A = this chain, B = another copy of it.
Amino acid sequence: MRRARRPAASTMPTLADVGREAGVTAKTVSRVLNGDGPVAGRTRERVLAAVRRLGYRPNLMARNIRIGARDATVGLVIPELGDPFFGAVAGGVEHAVRARGLTLIVGSSEETAAREEALIATFLNRRVSALLIVPAAGGDHRHLRAERAAGLPVVFLDRPPARLTADCVVSANREGSRAGVAHLIARGHRRIGFVGDLPALYTRRERLRGYRDALAAAGLPFERTLVTTGHGPEAAARATLRLLGLREPPTALFAGNDLAALGAVVALARAGRKDVALVGFDDPPLAEALDPPLTVVAQDPAGIGGAAAELALARLDGDRSRARRTVVPTRLIARGSGELPPPG
């Protein structure tokens, strides 16, 4: 008796079923389908006919079990698949992985270390061939040491691992940010506001470093009052208004990510302030359609995903060199919003 809840599973024909239908053994069918041992032309035909007749589909799980291989999948843990940035990262991973005949399995951690750990555990139990992780803040990846030692490729994306040495692919956050702020300084701005995300995020910290680098390089003072903190466009909009309300307000703003830029643009528009220069990090689709068009430090999310996947695939091919950090360049796209000189 087979259980009733899984009709699709119990109805599926097996190799033996096909063999019976074709008048041969399961092994012969296996040979035909995997093209190893020799098979007579006529047998081959009969087998293929039986396969079609029964709608046979090889069971990959059973196959993997037998040949002792890991599952032909790559696991990706990402904060949120629906986020445009991370969606693009996932797309980059998917292309690289599929080109290699592997399948992508994804889960969203929702920026939670607990969910991230649960997803990683699930993926490891599935025996994925490689693991790609955009780590949530507050996590601890020491438990992956053993897996790495056992030869499982583990690559971190967008943010470095915590308490673990492992491969890692990140944007040129600091340098990109520096270039964006330098762009504003070159237009004569001396008071530049930083509209940033929460300090727990690696990217915010790096981009703030780049901001300070640019100020330092120009001999400008760093002022804490010009640095704001907040997650999401509404927080960024409020932060922008607060900056504009300072006794000595900034004449230009640098937005630390796409949502911060959105908040800043909206706040400036609502306040009717066309005299404030703005440079954003990340290049959302409508940036060029804004008025003025938004100058940005563009990242390459698909590039990050692709590079991470390639690195994992190289490890899978036996690359045993020590853990390396790949930095994906950013690109300053001057469109107009950063060209504004300071008033006066």
> Could you give, for residues 81-112 of chain A, a 1 whenever the CB lies within 8 Å of some chain B CB and a 0 otherwise?
11110111011101100100001111110000
A105 with B73: CB separation less than 8 A: yes
Contacts of A147 on B, CB cut-off 8 Å?
Answer: 8
A197 within 8 A of B: no
Contacts of A285 on B, CB cut-off 8 Å?
Answer: 84, 258-259, 262, 284-286
Mark out the residues of chain A between 27 and 84 whose CB falls within 8 Å of any chain B CB in the assembled complex: 55, 57-62, 64-65, 68-71, 73, 80-84
Query: Across the two chains, which residue of chain B brings its CB closest to A101?
Result: B122
Q: Interface of chain A, helix or strand or loop or mixed?
A: helix
Assembly stoichiometry (copies): 2
Asked, given contacts A81-B94, A289-B262, whether A59 binds B146 with beta carbons under 8 Å apart, the answer is no
B84 with A106: CB separation less than 8 A: no
A289 with B302: CB separation less than 8 A: no
Docked complex Cα distance between A290 and B293 (Å): 9
A150 within 8 A of B: yes
A137 within 8 A of B: no
Contacts of A138 on B, CB cut-off 8 Å?
Answer: none
A125 within 8 A of B: yes
Docked complex Cα distance between A65 and B9 (Å): 10
A124 within 8 A of B: yes
Query: Which listed residue, B9, B55, B58, touches A125 by the CB 8 Å rule?
Result: B58
Query: Which listed residue, B10, B95, B127, touches A61 by the CB 8 Å rule?
Result: B127
Of A5, A7, A88, A106, chain B has the most CB atoms within 10 Å of the CB of A106
Query: Which listed residue, B71, B126, B265, touches A286 by the CB 8 Å rule?
Result: B265
Query: Across the two chains, which residue of chain B brings its CB closest to A95?
Result: B108
What's the minimum C-beta distance from A284 to chain B, rounded to whole angstroms? Answer: 5
Docked complex Cα distance between A7 and B125 (Å): 16
**23 A-B residue pairings within 8 Å (CB atoms):** A6-B68, A6-B70, A6-B151, A9-B68, A9-B70, A11-B150, A12-B127, A57-B121, A60-B127, A81-B91, A82-B88, A83-B87, A83-B91, A94-B107, A95-B108, A105-B106, A262-B285, A284-B284, A284-B286, A286-B286, A286-B287, A290-B290, A291-B291
A-B interface, 8 closest residue pairs, ranked by CB to CB distance from nearest = A82-B91, A87-B87, A286-B286, A291-B291, A8-B151, A7-B151, A265-B289, A81-B91
